[in-house]
A and B are shown apart, each in its own frame.
Chain A
Amino acid sequence: MFDQLLIGGLATGCIYAVVGLGFTLVYRTLRMVNFAQGQVFMVGAFLGLSIAQRVHLPVLPLLFVVGAVAFALGMVLERLVFRRLYHNHEVFVVGSIGLGIVLTNAVRVFFPEPVPFPKVFGSHVVQIGTARFQEAYFWVVVSTLVLVVLLHAMFAYTRGGRALRAVAADAEIAGTVGVNVNRAIALTFGLSFAVAAIAGVLIGPLYFVSFDMGDMVGLKAFSAAVFGGINSIPGTILGGLVIGVLENLAGGYISSAYKDLVAFVILLIMLIWRPTGLLGRDTPVKV
């Protein structure tokens, strides 16, 4: 049973990690948390569904297209909506929650019932030891790895990526050396949306897609990001994987009823003990 739980946990953990990345990216740049992140993930899944149902695209182009559309959406929403919410944390929190509610219910109008997602990763069942799982699980883990490597490369080696890091570190100074801060923020949002949407497509074939699939995932990805360090990308990834595996193990060995508790207890304990998370760096927070 252990291997089954471990592998299942790694796959869900990857999803938490990737969605959590969205939270982290926005937080690093703006010090704000976008609570519509879970719903963006859900929208991404439906976007993927709509495209996959009409056009027979292989996986990579599908992910790319969904990512691109979500990226554009993120930039547009930043300009139209998020920009007006920067007053303070509370306003941003409630505003983004409102956006999340709009997204959930807008999708619900078109898709009131859960829908199966086309098996874009194939439907072969793989066996490793005593664990049996759909091959899609395997692809989720691989895709996450690839995504993380790509992101790292972008941030470390491209000019655009370094500009984003500069803005995250200190927007004022970045502005004085010629970085277009507004555009960097917009790009960050676009990236956070793209990443969440891609996660949505990755998880689509594993479960059904439904308008409420973003709620719990959003909350747990958030816990993962805080746990690993909401201003640290590797921390968020680690946090996602740990929470995914731990909650599965707890659900299997202790009690399936309290499985959800794991993520939130970890969240609370981490915040009290070490708010910057496992791998987070201490950024001077205004008191």
Chain B
Amino acid sequence: MKMQKLVRAVGVAGCIAMAIPAVAQDIKLGVVAGMSGPGTSYGIGIKQGAEMAVKEINAAGGVKGRKIALVIVDDASNPAQSVTSMERLVNEPVDLVVGGWGSSQVLANMDVAERAGLPYIVVGATNPKITTDKNKWTFRVIFTDAVQAEQIADAAVKRLGMKRIAVIHDANDYGVGNRDVFLASLKKIGVEPVAVVSYQSADKDFTAQLSRIREANPDGVAIFGTIPAAPAIMNQARDLGIKARFIGTGGLANENLMTLAPKASEGTVLTTYFHEDADAQAKAWADRYVKEFSGSSQPPRPVLAAWEYRAIKYIAAPCLESSGTNKDKLRQCIASWKGNLFSVPGEAYFDKTGQLIQQSVLVEVGKGAFQAFKGK
């Protein structure tokens, strides 16, 4: 038992040693995301977006003379570790948190922020249950599955003229959430899916699911999943002779889609969170981003970095300017924020559940890249 005490003492000392060396009057901004597990590429994107934004803000003099210090915690895309990570940020203490990837992780760690009264802007989780009437301190900038699935359902029927839609979805919260909203939206327009099948995130072989879909003879196949399942599904579907067009939402918005399914992904239409062709400012930012991070171990992925960057630069920083670090004032400032962000058409604002209301961007896969969708 004595050894246990010793171990604990060492643990405490170790944690103190590992604290970020920040100056007393720095503003501490916490970032939590998975940087060593399944969602690594997304987590690193978030980290890069944060670093880019904070570097620019500090170079321009900081917030009222105070610099922003980033406290980055890796939760390995694991919900239990995510709770611990958030506890760590609360303990630091940070003034606010901008980050969070993966609905399972965010659903788990937002309760910690809520109970501690810590403003939390979520950038990488799309499950609708995150922003409801229950959260007071949690905000979210990225679209929910609800919005995206609804918009793609609409586009599929009204703009792409699909009548026989099959759905294949990941059995995780992302896939299930999307499927539910998609089917409800289809029903409202008066369309029934011809097949609905699911798979496990780690599956490699989709013969069983795709055989069922092929039987149903669809003219459109909705894929609600992420990499690497989605491109595998596309490849195997084409091999099986399924010629229907693919549609989907943000989970497909990853350049790997084209790397892994170069031929099969052509023509896919999806809603996405960010696209550099949406406006000139977006393009300029994307160029700067790629230049700054192209040497790192992971190829730069602008989609989530864009959200982290915009959330910090255009929402968090201005609110820190006007309200200081008083948490309640910060919260009120964020809740009443409205404005323009690059790549978002029109003005965006937070609704009373803390969700940022905005229009999405539709893109199509063409010639191995995402291109703005222009009609058929």
| Interface of A toward B, CB cutoff 8 Å | 1, 4-5, 8-9, 12, 112-114, 116, 125, 132-134, 206-208, 210, 212-213, 215-216, 247-252, 256-257, 259-260
Contact = CB atoms under 8 A, between A and B. Distances in A.
Main secondary structure of the interface of A (DSSP, over half): mixed
Contacts of B205: 8, 12, 206-207, 248
Contacts of A114: 227-228, 256, 260
B259 A257 contact: no
Contacts of A133: 239-240
Given A114-B227, A132-B239, A256 B260 contact: no
Interface in B282-304: 297-298
Contacts of B260: 114, 116, 208
A256 B197 contact: yes
B93 to A, nearest CB: 32
A251 B228 contact: no
Contact of A208 (B207, B211, B232, B241): B232
B200 A112 contact: no
B240 A4 contact: yes
B208 A5 contact: yes
B256 A4 contact: no
Contact of A248 (B40, B207, B215): B207
B41 A113 contact: yes
Contacts of A5: 207-208, 211
The 9 closest A-B pairs by CB, nearest first: A251-B208, A8-B207, A114-B228, A252-B208, A207-B204, A1-B211, A4-B211, A256-B197, A256-B209
A12 B208 CA distance: 12
B208 A256 contact: yes
Contacts of A249: 208
B239 A125 contact: yes
Contacts, number: 79
Given A1-B215, A5-B208, A251-B209, A256 B198 contact: yes
Given A8-B211, A212-B202, 19 more contacts: A4-B214, A5-B208, A12-B205, A112-B40, A112-B298, A113-B41, A114-B260, A207-B205, A208-B204, A208-B232, A208-B260, A215-B202, A248-B205, A248-B208, A252-B207, A252-B209, A252-B211, A257-B171, A259-B203
Pick the most buried of A112, A250, A251, A260: most chain B CB atoms within 10 A of its CB: A251
Q: How large is the interface on B (under 10, 10 to 19, 20 to 34, 35 or more residues)?
A: 20 to 34
A210 B228 contact: yes
Given A210-B228, A256-B199, A132 B241 contact: yes
Interface in B223-243: 227-228, 231-232, 239-241
A4 B209 CA distance: 11
A249 B211 CA distance: 10
Contacts of B55: none
A216 B199 CA distance: 14
B84 to A, nearest CB: 20
A203 B183 CA distance: 35
A206 B240 CA distance: 13
20 contacts: A1-B211, A1-B212, A1-B215, A4-B207, A4-B214, A8-B207, A112-B41, A112-B297, A113-B41, A132-B241, A206-B205, A208-B204, A208-B228, A208-B232, A208-B260, A250-B208, A256-B197, A256-B209, A257-B171, A260-B200
A210 B298 CA distance: 15
Interface string B238-278: 01110000000000000010011000000000000000000
